[in-house]
């Protein structure tokens, strides 16, 4: 029989945290190392003129990288407490590092001021801002890792909110991409939702949507700029990366539409809920097709909410009639559109049209009507409906040579000049929709009417 006490046997049989894959240190040893850096930086930060060599900074950056990596390894092995401990000490290290950087940069700038009497203070402040980006970028890594624990493991929404607010502040300071800032804003919207702050959740979700749209617009501009001879060899890789990014943006915006619809349902605002189900439907239909699960989800939700809204005449929703997901081309001739936004109406040479204003990430939608030859007074009568056409706005940006900032670019699709370009290169002939410009035809996503082949 063993001479060991029962408690000694329990401790011996307990599963130990894995070693750090980067340094092969045990959790206990790595924590001691981090604590030593913490103590050293704490004392150094109290000096009036602290100093760190380039080698010191590289070592500290490696330590913080290992903290981030090791915390994930601990989480994957379900050592949550240990992961939190290692991240806590990492965050304190990053705070001391930032404080030391501030003092070092301030001392350097004061020296420059004395040496150059006519130095531009604006330039000095800009230099300070640039130098602080490095320690802030290290802290950002730690905050993101810490947020993952707070939101996924602890469900601690109050502290997760504080953590995320700090992430967003640093991202703004670092001028992070619209895509990453949008992701943070949407997470913050979800936290506000969990905390039942629905108005704030709605506001943040809309901010995230706008940032995603700006991100996609910027991505498209960069894609166009890369079409010169110098970058020819990298074009395919750029296109593949941009395509993946656009799909990710579309999926995230689809999630935001679903999120906003849920908020409006909670608020008993069924008309706005229907509007966002409609946005989600057209976004997914245009990007991923009728059989996509998200397209079907939004279609089902939109039909259900309209069925309820039809019981109350004063609260009519947005209805899609006669659309069968099994055959979009043959069965969506009865699409009825009731948009709150501007509806452009008119007549071209061979058809009348309705063009509702949609968001940047939704397809450009046209509803076409045959020209009346039987004395029908209403040029938009149901019996004259020819079909619906969806064009890819991202391709239209290039086709129309649209230039503008993220807030205004969507409006440019609907100027008289651009509408005339689009409508002037389409006609109805012998029961077919004909595109007179092959580049415009390449923008086609889907159509409920027959389109003449190239």
pLDDT tens-digit profile of 269-286? 888 898 899 889 888 888
Q: What is the pLDDT of residue 72?
A: 95
* 41 in Cβ contact with 96 (< 8 Å): yes
Name every residue whose Cβ is closer than 8 Å to that of residue 429 and which is 6 or more positions away in sequence.
Answer: 350, 452
Tell me the two tokens of residue 214: 């700006």
CATH number of 178-224+235-320: 1.25.40.10
Give the E-state strand segments of 252-372 in sequence order. 343-347, 351-356, 364-370
Q: What is the pLDDT of residue 93?
A: 94
CA distance 65 to 131: 19
CA distance 413 to 402: 8
> What are the tens digits of pLDDT across the range 3-55?
555 444 434 446 889 999 999 999 999 999 999 999 999 988 888 888 888 88
* 334 in Cβ contact with 387 (< 8 Å): no
Which residue did the predictor score with more confidence, 233 or 449? Answer: 449
Average pLDDT, the chain: 80
> What are the tens digits of pLDDT across the range 133-173?
888 999 999 999 999 999 989 989 999 999 999 999 999 99
Which residue did the predictor score with more confidence, 103 or 160? Answer: 160
Rounded to the nearest 10 degrees, the angle between the axes of helix 54-76 and helix 27-45 is 140
Question: Distances in Å between the alpha carbon of 223 and those of 165, 226, 242, 244, 299?
Answer: 32, 5, 7, 13, 32
* Beta strand 351-356 pairing with 385-391: unpaired
**Cα Rg of the chain, angstroms:** 29
Measured from the Cβ of residue 219, the count of other Cβ atoms closer than 10 Å reads: 20
For residues 340-357, average pLDDT: 82
Which residue did the predictor score with more confidence, 410 or 434? Answer: 434
Q: What is the pLDDT of residue 257?
A: 94
């Amino acid at each position: 029989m063993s001479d060991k006490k029962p408690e000694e046997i329990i401790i011996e049989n307990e599963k130990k945290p894995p070693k750090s894959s980067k340094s092969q240190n045990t959790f206990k040893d790595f924590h001691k190392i981090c604590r030593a850096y913490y103590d050293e930086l704490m004392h150094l930060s109290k000096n009036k003129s602290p100093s760190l060599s380039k080698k010191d900074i590289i070592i500290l950056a490696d330590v913080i990288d290992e903290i981030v990596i090791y915390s994930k390894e601990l989480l994957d092995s379900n050592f949550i407490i240990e992961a939190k401990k290692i991240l806590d000490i990492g965050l304190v290290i990053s705070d001391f590092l930032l404080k030391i950087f501030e003092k070092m940069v301030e001392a350097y700038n004061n020296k420059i001021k004395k040496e150059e009497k006519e130095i531009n203070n604006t330039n000095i402040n800009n230099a300070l801002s640039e130098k602080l980006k490095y320690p802030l970028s290290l802290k950002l890594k730690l905050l993101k890792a810490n947020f993952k624990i707070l939101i996924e493991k602890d469900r601690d929404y109050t502290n997760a909110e504080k953590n995320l607010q700090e992430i967003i502040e640093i991202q703004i300071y670092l001028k992070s991409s619209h895509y990453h800032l949008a992701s943070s804003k949407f997470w913050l919207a979800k936290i506000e939702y969990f905390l039942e702050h629905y108005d704030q959740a709605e506001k943040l979700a809309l901010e995230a949507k706008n940032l995603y749209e700006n991100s996609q617009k910027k991505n498209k501009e960069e894609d166009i700029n890369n079409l010169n001879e110098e970058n020819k060899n990298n074009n395919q890789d750029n296109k593949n990366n941009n395509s993946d990014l656009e799909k990710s943006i579309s999926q995230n915006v689809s999630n935001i539409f679903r999120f906003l619809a849920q908020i409006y349902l909670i608020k008993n605002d069924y008309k706005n809920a229907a509007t966002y189900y409609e946005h989600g439907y057209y976004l997914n239909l245009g990007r991923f097709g009728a059989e996509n699960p998200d397209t079907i989800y939004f279609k089902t939700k939109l039909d259900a909410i309209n069925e309820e809204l039809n019981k109350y005449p004063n609260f009519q929703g947005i209805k899609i009639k006669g659309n069968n997901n099994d055959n979009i081309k043959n069965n969506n001739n009865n699409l009825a559109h009731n948009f709150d936004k501007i509806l452009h109406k008119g007549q071209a040479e061979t058809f009348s049209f309705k063009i509702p204003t949609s968001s940047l990430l939704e397809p450009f939608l046209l509803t076409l009507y045959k020209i009346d030859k039987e004395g029908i007074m209403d040029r938009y009568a149901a019996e004259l409906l020819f079909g619906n056409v969806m064009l890819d706005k991202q391709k239209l940006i290039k086709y129309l040579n649209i230039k503008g900032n993220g807030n205004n670019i969507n409006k440019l699709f609907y100027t008289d000049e651009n509408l005339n370009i689009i409508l002037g290169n389409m006609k109805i002939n012998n029961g077919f929709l004909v595109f007179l410009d092959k580049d415009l035809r390449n923008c086609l996503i889907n159509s409920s009417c027959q389109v003449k082949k190239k």
